[in-house]
Amino acid sequence: MLNKKKAYVVAVVGATGAVGQEMMLTLEQRKFPIEKIRLFASERSEGKELEFAGQKIKVERLTDDCFKGIDIALFSAGAERSRIWAPIASKSGCVVIDNSSQWRMDPEVPLVVPEVNSNDLSWHKGIIANPNCSTIQMVVVLKPIHDVAKIKRVVVTTFQSVSGTGMKAMDELMQQTSDMLNFKEIKTNVYPYQIAFNVLPHIDKFLENGYTKEEMKMVNETKKIMGDDTIRVTATTVRVPVFRCHSESLNIETDKKLSVIDVREILSLAKGVIVYDAPDKNIYPMPITAVDKDDTYVGRIREDESIENGINMWIVSDNLRKGAALNAVQIAEELTK
C-alpha cells in the first residue's frame, strides 16, 4: 500500500510517448503533490530533456534498481515492458498504475475507473490496471444507469481517433492528408490501409471468433469494472481519421424502463459526465467538443423504439485524457486520500 505523505516521488514510464506526455501535463495541471518526478523511456531517448512545471528533466532508461525510492509509477510503455518492469517496480515498494493491456484481466490486479469502482483499489498488491480508453468512457456513462435500471445488454460501435495508436499514427494521418491534397502518392506504415479520408473497421488483431482484441477488451473489461458478469456486451471498433477523441454509439437495454428525461437526469448527476444534448439546437458531442476536456460528453439520447426498454446515445471523450492519462492520475489521487 502507499504510505501517505505530503508529497510523492512520481515516475512516468514511457514519458516520450503521446500518453506519457499527457500524463505529465495532467499531473502538472491537477497540481498532484510531487516531491520529485523521474521520467523513463527507451534507450533511444536516454538523456533527452522534457519540461515539467517549468523545469527540464532528463529522461532515464530503465534498470533493475531504478524504482527504489519512487512512490508511484505511471506506466505507458506497452504491454511487453509492463510485463517485465511492473513487477520489478512493485517489488521496489512502488505502486504501479499501468496503462497497457498486460494486467487488465489478471484476477489479482484491480481494473479501475475511479468514478465507477474506486473501492477495488483496496485490494491492490502493488499493480493497478488502467482500462482500455474506449472502455473507460463507456463505463463512466453505463454505471449510473446500471445502478438505477440494471443494464442487460450493450451494443457499442466506436469511432476511435488515431492518437489511440500513438504519435506515429498521428504523424501518418497528417502526412497522408497533406499528400492527398497535394496529389502525391499515399504511403502507409502504421495502418494496413490509408487512414486519411478513410475508415478502418479494424483495431488491433483479429481473433478466431471474428472479433478484434480491441472489441473483446471492451466486452471483458466492462464486466470486470462493473462487477457484473451478467451484462452482455457486443462491440465493433472502428478507426477514423480524427486526431484526438473517441466517439461511441451506444445501444443500451435495461431491466427497468427509462425515459429520455430519466436518462438525462441520471447522467446530469453523474461524476465525470456532461449531458450535451439539445438536438433542436444542433447541440450534440463531437471530437472537437471534448479535446483537452476531462469529462465524457453524452448526447443524441433517445429511446430505442424497436425494443421495450432500450436507449440510444452518442458519447465522446478525449482518449488521451480520460481514456488514459487522467484516469491514471485520478487513481493516484485516490491512493493519496
The CATH number assigned to the domain holding 105 equals 3.40.50.720
3: in domain: no
Q: Is the pLDDT of residue 326 over 80?
A: yes
Specify the pLDDT at position 275. Answer: 98
Specify the pLDDT at position 44. Answer: 87
Give the mean model confidence (pLDDT) for residues 165-169. Answer: 94
Cα 14 to its chain centre, rounded Å, is 16
Give the mean model confidence (pLDDT) for residues 100-120. Answer: 97
Asked if residue 150 and residue 86 are part of one domain, the reply reads: no
Long-range contacts of 108-114 (CB under 8 A, 24+ apart): 111/221, 111/224, 111/225, 112/225, 112/331, 112/334, 113/139, 113/140, 113/225, 113/327, 114/327, 114/330, 114/331, 114/333, 114/334
Structural domain for 190, as ranges: 135-319
94 tagged catalytic = no
Specify the pLDDT at position 5. Answer: 87
Number of domains in the chain: 2
Specify the pLDDT at position 299. Answer: 98
Neighbours of 194 (CB within 10 A): 17
- With residue 310 as reference, give the H or E element that holds it: strand 310-317
Q: Is the pLDDT of residue 1 over 80?
A: no
Considering the candidates 66, 94, 124, 133, report the single residue annotated as catalytic.
133
Considering the candidates 124, 146, 245, 246, report the single residue annotated as catalytic.
246
1: in domain: no
pLDDT-based confidence at residue 3 (cuts at 50, 70, 90): confident
Give the mean model confidence (pLDDT) for residues 311-319. Answer: 98
pTM tops 0.75: yes
54: in domain: yes
124 tagged catalytic = no
Asked if residue 223 and residue 254 are part of one domain, the reply reads: yes
pLDDT-based confidence at residue 309 (cuts at 50, 70, 90): very high
Specify the pLDDT at position 327. Answer: 97
Q: Is the pLDDT of residue 14 over 90?
A: yes
